[in-house]
Chains A and B, each alone.
Chain A
Amino acid sequence: MVDIDKRIFIGNVGIDKKEDKYLFTFTYPIVRKLVGGEGGGGGGGEGKSIYIIKTEARSLTEAISLIAHRTSRRINFDHSRNIIIGEELAKDGIKEIIDSLERNPQTNRRSYLIIAKDRAEKILSKENDQEILLAYYIEYLFKSKQNPGDYVDRDFSEVMEQIHSLKGDALMPVITVAGKDLDANGGAVIKDYRLIGYLNTEEVRGINILLGKAMQTITAFDIDGTKLAVCEIKSARSTPVLLKAQEVPVIRYDIEVAASLREIHSDKIGKKGLKELQEGFAKEIKKQIEAGLNRVQKDYKVDVIGVGEYLYKRKPKIWEKYEKDWEEIFPDVEIIVNPKVKFINLGPVI
Chain B
Amino acid sequence: MLMDNEKISTRQAIVFLISVAVGVGILSLPRQVDEKAGQDGWISIIIGGLFTLIGSIIVAAVVSRQKKDVVKITEDLMGKFASIVVGMFYIVYFIVMAAVVNQTFAEVANLYLLENTPKEFTIITMLLLVFYACRIGIEPTVRAIMILFPFATFLFIFIIFTCLSRAKIDEILPFFSTPVNKIFTASFESLFSLEGFELLLVLGPYLRRPEKAKKIVIIYTEIVTFFYVFITLVTFMVLGKNETKLFKWPVFMMIKGITAPGEIFERMDAISISIWVIEIFTTVVAYYFAEIQVLKSLSGLKEQRYVGGILFPLFYFITNMPKNFTENQIIAGFANYLIYPAAFIIPLLLYIISIFKKRGEES
Contacts and interface: CB of A to CB of B under 8 A. Distances in A.
Interface of A: 102, 105, 109-110, 155-158, 160-161, 164-165, 167, 312-314, 316
Nearest to A320: B177
Interface residues of B, number: 22
Nearest to A156: B257
Given A110-B259, A313-B174, A105 B240 contact: no
B256 A161 contact: no
Given A105-B111, A110-B266, A161 B259 contact: no
B257 A164 contact: no
A161 B166 CA distance: 11
Contacts of A158: 166, 257
A165 B177 contact: no
**Interface majority SS (helix, strand, loop, mixed), chain B:** helix
B256 A165 contact: no
Contacts of A164: 240, 242-243, 246
B104 to A, nearest CB: 15
Given A105-B111, A316-B177, A160 B243 contact: yes
Given A102-B246, A161-B240, A164-B246, A109 B170 contact: no
Question: What is the predominant secondary structure among interface residues of chain A facing chain B?
Answer: helix
Nearest to A105: B111
Given A161-B243, A164-B243, A109 B257 contact: yes
Interface string B167-178: 000100110010
Given A105-B111, A105-B112, A313-B173, A165 B242 contact: yes
Contacts of B20: none
B257 A157 contact: yes
Nearest to A310: B170
Q: Which 10 A-B pairs have the closest CB atoms?
A: A157-B257, A313-B173, A109-B257, A316-B174, A164-B242, A109-B256, A164-B243, A165-B240, A165-B242, A316-B177
B249 to A, nearest CB: 10
A314 B174 contact: yes
Interface of B: 111-112, 166, 170, 173-174, 177, 238-243, 246, 253-254, 256-259, 266-267
Max chain A Cβ within 10 angstroms of own Cβ: one of B242, B246, B266: B242
A105 B107 CA distance: 12
A110 B257 contact: yes
A161 B242 CA distance: 8
- The listed residue with most B CB atoms (<10 A of its CB), out of A102, A109, A312, is A109
B162 to A, nearest CB: 12
B236 to A, nearest CB: 11
Given A105-B111, A161-B239, A110 B174 contact: no
Contact of B243 (A155, A165, A312): A165
